[in-house]
Amino acid sequence: MALTRPSSPDSQGWQSGTSTPRTENSVLFGDLFGDDDFILVVGGLGYIGSHTTWELLKAGRSVVIVDNLSNAFRTVLERLQTMLQAHYPDISQAPLIRFHNIDYRNVAAMRIVLEMYARTPSPERPRPSSIAGVIHFAAYKAVAESVEQPLRYYANNVAGMIDFCGLLDEFGVKTFVLSSSATVYGELANKGGRLPEEYCTHATTNWQDAEGRHQTTFGGSSGLTNPYGRTKWMCEAILHDLAASDPEWTVVALRYFNPIGCDASGHLGEDPRATPNNLMPVVVRVLTGELEVLDIFGTDWDTRDGTAIRDFIHVTDLARGHLAALSATSDKLATGFHSFNLGTGTGHTVKEVVAAMEGASGKSIAVRHSERREGDVAMCIADPKKAATLLGWKTEKTLDDCCRDICRFLRLLRL
């Protein structure tokens, strides 16, 4: 059973309770985007996509959402529209939301969408499209499923993106933010410590590590542990080559660690159609009685309590990272390919996350110790310094904030 309900679940009215105030467009994006420009968000009704869409709307950016609803619900769009009306007292001053129920791999349908936003360049508006940038969330993302269905993952995540970028290139839309993943680091995550971006590059890179030692990373992959991670690495490599071939392209790959939490208003959350495989939505389904027990995969890892360590980042902080990346494309990241970690730099074990959710909810969570899953690693923690330096971005929310916001979302859904 999905968490989404057919009508608004909120008995208290739709008030924007988020901690991020509206930021004027000129402050956040400079002269990069005009008032009549849109950001195309592919997969914009999913968990991370919807939270990023909301942060864009609060920042005054009009949004075009493309989503085939394979892992999201139309009610998420309805929530966004209602939240937008509450956030902007004068709705005539609000940015626009446009939605197209399309699979991004449908080249003919996507061509029609892009034609809708094409325009004749002029000195005032030199770009040939009113779509000023793209954020791509439309990848499949379950590690275990990718092991079982690799061709499905390569077809959607890699082949689909190639066709999509070909269309964007044709229409002159060449600012691209990729939803990437810390899985590109593969077995390097087990080296211990925080993972710098230089551990995974697509060209030979000379750099200094945290101890000041000179290091060289050769372009390529090392120890990728599952097909999902390989698709993300392949997408990055393809986009790196695309940006190298054409200086008009600017690509930012954002390597997510472990997004959890919900918008502080309680009106957006993680609500997938598909059976979840990542930790927190499974915890939620145990809390709501949809599942009897939480499987903890591996209790013999070389960690402080035997369970895997991950860098859990609040989804609102993650969403704000996409706005920071778009903003930087007008200045520091004006051309080429760039990769950034989006994480806190702090790791928590699975048992610690379960305890935090028990504390926030006031309920016990039944757990069962199970064997390790194929493709998992013991520890994965971000080094977030590069994003802080070049994007001016850092996380603000804690694990306890994540758990409280999830519980608020569940209360408003009356679960």
Per-residue tokens: 82: 């209602």
Helical ranges in 59-207 per DSSP H: 74-87, 107-116, 143-148, 150-153, 160-170
**Residues carrying an active site annotation:** 228
Helix (H) or strand (E) holding 313: strand 312-314
**Cα–Cα distances in angstroms (integers) from residue 319 to residues 268, 323, 336, 378, in the given order:** 12, 7, 22, 26
CA torsion through residues 192, 195, 196, 199, sign: positive
b/e code 62-76 from CB counts within 10 Å (16+ = b) = bbbbbbbbebbbebb
Instruction: Write the CB contacts of 106 (distance below 8 Å, at least 6 apart in sequence).
Output: none
Residue pair 337/251 in contact by the 8 Å Cβ criterion = yes
Phi, psi of 373 (to 5 degrees): -90, 145
